[in-house]
Amino acid sequence: MLLFTRVAGPGLYLAAGCGQNRHMTRLPKPRGRLTADRPLSDLTWLRVGGPADWVFQPADTDDLSRFLAALDEDVVVFPIGVGSNLIVRDGGLRAVVVRLGRGFNSISVEGNRVIAGAAALDAHVARRSAQAGIDLTFLRTIPGAVGGAVCMNAGCYGTYTADVFVEAEAVTRSGEIVTLTASDLNFRYRHTDLPHGWIVTRAVFEGPAGDPDALDAKMAAQLAKRDETQPTRERTAGSTFRNPAGYSSTGRADDVHDLKAWKVIEDAGMRGARLGGAQMSPKHPNFLVNTGTATAADLEALGEEVRKRVFQSSGIELVWEIMRVGEPAPDRPAQEAGDGIE
């Protein structure tokens, strides 16, 4: 609950307290939108999660830079994109959540390079690039936006963001605007070294040339295969766990599946497993689904039970690909799955 909001001094700061026993926090007053106690469930694809202390939607990069420069260094900053790879726990997030929107979703082409704002959807970047004869088709079926693709080195069909990455612009936690190279980010499978609190605002990609019609056909085939094999009409967050093999599916006929996450989950008998409103998809067992009534606790507990049973079955320790953040609900501690699995 918002206790009070007022403009302090000459309109430079907002002071507010969110929820019970929260600290009084002085926040810079930005040009963009700043909302206290904002529920996050409608900002994630899984539709779960409690409120953030604050959600900040900056007007532009300068607004973001000035806000972070003036923000107390002890305040946690957490960027989110379209929430496609995220579980926010039921108690919410004690942080200023930064969500980029308008002003950060432009896509332009210069020669064989594509410049995209961090809020531009991966699918939109793939389509715009194809129209210009640039092959970034691997992005077409990746759920999310450019900022997340850079931060997590998103990839599929044997191609990764690192393979087409030129540079990125980011704003540091102290508000400095910097340019990041591939060596700065140190791309690895589903991981980079982007420091906590830094926010990617745009990226530059360079892809191979291709015929626009052929690239369009390639993307159509990818979409058809995705819809055939994945629960695209369900509430999911994409792949739940990283492949133990340490690389994405290539899509080739000779691609082996022994160390794919879906295969070890199926071998452990967890395809279709349910806990409360959470389910491992019967269609693709590496997709965690909110069937309509799941809490974040349901989803996380089911995922942890999957990890436990896969380890018992194969000795493989699955690593979460979905990011999980925040606190459990005050009246509901983190759930133990146990016998609740169906």
Q: 225 lies in a domain? A: no
Task: Kindly report the pTM of this predicted structure.
Answer: 0.88
What CATH number is attached to the domain comprising 87? 3.30.43.10
Q: What is the pLDDT of residue 259?
A: 87
Same domain, yes or no: 192 and 271: no
Same domain, yes or no: 166 and 185: yes
Q: What is the pLDDT of residue 246?
A: 86
Q: 26 lies in a domain? A: yes
Angle, vertex CA 81, rays to CA 78 and CA 84, nearest 5 = 115
Residue at which a domain ends, from 81, 99, 117: 99
Task: Considering the candidates 84, 239, 248, 281, report the single residue annotated as catalytic.
Answer: 239
Same domain, yes or no: 92 and 116: no
- Mode of pairing for the β-strands spanning 199-206 and 113-117: antiparallel
Q: What is the pLDDT of residue 331?
A: 75
CA–CA gap between residue 331 and residue 199 (Å, rounded): 33
> How far are the Cα atoms of 67, 178, 260, 275 from residue 240, in angstroms, in the given order?
33, 32, 12, 15
Same domain, yes or no: 59 and 8: yes
Residue at which a domain ends, from 65, 99, 133: 99
89 an active-site residue?
no
Q: What is the pLDDT of residue 17?
A: 46
Q: What is the pLDDT of residue 91?
A: 97
Same domain, yes or no: 241 and 275: yes
Q: 32 lies in a domain? A: yes
Q: What is the pLDDT of residue 338?
A: 53
Task: Considering the candidates 167, 206, 234, 321, report the single residue annotated as catalytic.
Answer: 321
Residue 26 has pLDDT above 50, yes or no: yes
Give kind and range of the element (H or E) at residue 282.
Answer: none
Q: 223 lies in a domain? A: no
Q: 65 lies in a domain? A: yes
Q: 189 lies in a domain? A: yes
Residue 247 has pLDDT above 90, yes or no: no
Residue at which a domain ends, from 52, 71, 99: 99
Provide the residue range defining the domain that includes 263.
233-340
Q: What is the pLDDT of residue 12?
A: 43
Q: 226 lies in a domain? A: no
Give per-residue pLDDT as tens, 118-145. 999 999 999 999 999 999 999 999 999 9
Give per-residue pLDDT as tens, 175-193. 999 999 999 999 999 999 9
Residue 214 has pLDDT above 60, yes or no: yes
Same domain, yes or no: 69 and 114: no
Q: What is the pLDDT of residue 25?
A: 65
Task: Considering the candidates 38, 89, 99, 190, report the single residue annotated as catalytic.
Answer: 190
Same domain, yes or no: 205 and 118: yes
Same domain, yes or no: 141 and 238: no
Q: Dump strand ranges (E) for 131-230.
A: 155-156, 159-160, 165-171, 177-180, 199-206
188 an active-site residue?
no
Q: What is the pLDDT of residue 19?
A: 46
Domain count, the chain: 3
Same domain, yes or no: 241 and 334: yes
- Mode of pairing for the β-strands spanning 323-325 and 86-88: parallel
304 an active-site residue?
no
Q: What is the pLDDT of residue 256?
A: 66
What CATH number is attached to the domain comprising 139? 3.30.465.10
Residue of 54, 60, 106, 62 lying closest to 80 (CA atoms): 54
Least confident among 8-12, 75-79, 179-183, 279-283: 8-12
Q: 227 lies in a domain? A: no
